[in-house]
Amino acid sequence: MLYLAGVVGFALVILISVSLHEAGHMLTAKRFGMKVTKYFVGFGPTLWSFKRGETEYGIKGIPLGGFCKIVGMTPQDDDVDPADEPRAMWRFPLWKRTVVMSAGSITHFLLAVVALWFAAIFMGLPNPALDGPQPAYVKVTNCVIVGATADNRDCIPGDPASPAKQAGLQDDDKITAVNGVLVPTYADLVNQIRKLPAGSQATINYERAGAQQQVNVSLASVQRPPVGDPTGPVSNVSALGVAGPVPPPGVPIMVKSNPIEAFPATAKFTGNLAVDTVHSLQRIPQKVPALWDAITGAPRDADTPISVVGASRLGGEAVEHSAWEVVVLLFVSLNFFIGVFNLLPLLPLDGGHIAIAWFERIRSWFAARLGKPDPGHVDYFKLMPVTYAVILIGGAFTLLTITADIINPITLF
């Protein structure tokens, strides 16, 4: 029941965020004197509405977003009343149109930053000292899972005992070398173990409570895909039976800040989030095959994109386990992603309208410098095939992610 409440609650939070996105467009447009005739939450048939001034506000039957209607967004709009022509959006200065079209994304960024600032004070943000590759501090598992799925399930009868546990390794041990080869990071440890013949012997050097120690371990033989490629070919490799990396003893995962310290902490986290978001967008085309494989029975790569359905399911899981920091960080990441995505220079996204407006200005500037006539406005009708292609691809990708999130969802616990 708590899981279901979390799913519904998180879906509602997403809907509110998108509604605030449209409110950002509406409020800035009204502030500049543009005419806004409609502001609705949802799509489809109208369930309820009222009119205040020149704008109709309401709720529609399909709660999958929202919209606001600004008169004359393009010069080709043919539904502009002659009396409203002076207030048509395309007639306003470029900077005002840019502000209005980017206001939706800015709203998402503000939601994310404000949530992060409060999180830094009351919940804490990930410790920046743990950014980047980490030393090979480990948690010893009770068993190893032989099959290629290597999921996070608990041990069951028949699973081989963990070689690390049998050899006497303990949680928070720092492994420093394997067969004399230094492993300064946990990633180096994994790669070095996998280089050894499946099921072979290994000499493990480790540090415990400041003391250097050594132990011989009989490694387990397991089936795994390549590191970083869960859909790659499976092969027999060695396993030590540890998980990681874990923070060094005494180093907290989350760090709280006072209200003043929260500003630089928020700024640093936001900068890292921006870089990660751009990288995620760049990797989307590479992840499409993994999404299809997840639908057809392969293990779901946790790094594949998720839909609103997947995000809501993750939110429900986090609520069910009282992992409120996960709920907040999921909310922040989702808002930041939507904000960046909407600024891509593609129609019908906001970034597409901004790109065209600036292209018109730059083209006019060059024409004036060359003594040529102003080429005027871009004909949006000529761009409709590209727009439809973007909508078609976006719709297919959305359907793919929703299907994967229903059939083979990413889980946290």
Closest CA to 325 of 188, 154, 121: 121
Query: Are 338 and 17 spatial neighbours (Cβ–Cβ below 8 Å)?
Result: yes
Q: Which residues contact 53 (CB under 8 A, 6 or more apart)?
A: none
DSSP tag of 319: H
Angle between the N-to-C axes of helices 324-342 and 262-295, in degrees from 0 to 180, rounded to the nearest 10: 80
- Cα separation, 91 vs 319, whole angstroms: 48
- Cα separation, 60 vs 43, whole angstroms: 5
Q: Which of 22, 207, 261, 325 is catalytic?
A: 22
Place of tokens 């018109």: 360
* 3-class state of residue 45 by DSSP: strand
Place of tokens 């129609």: 347
- Cα separation, 349 vs 347, whole angstroms: 5
Q: Which residues contact 9 (CB under 8 A, 6 or more apart)?
A: 315, 316, 319
Closest CA to 232 of 220, 243, 223: 223
- Cα separation, 235 vs 186, whole angstroms: 21
Closest CA to 43 of 22, 20, 71, 64: 64
317 catalytic residue (yes or no): no
Place of tokens 């310290």: 261
The full 3-state SS of 3-30, as one line of letters, equals HHHHHHHHHHHHHHHHHHHHHHHHHHHH
Q: What is the dihedral of CA 326, 330, 336, 341, to 10 degrees?
A: 150
DSSP tag of 185: S
* 3-class state of residue 254 by DSSP: strand
Tokens found for residue 320 = 């069910």
Host H or E run for residue 177: strand 174-178
Catalytic residue numbers read: 22
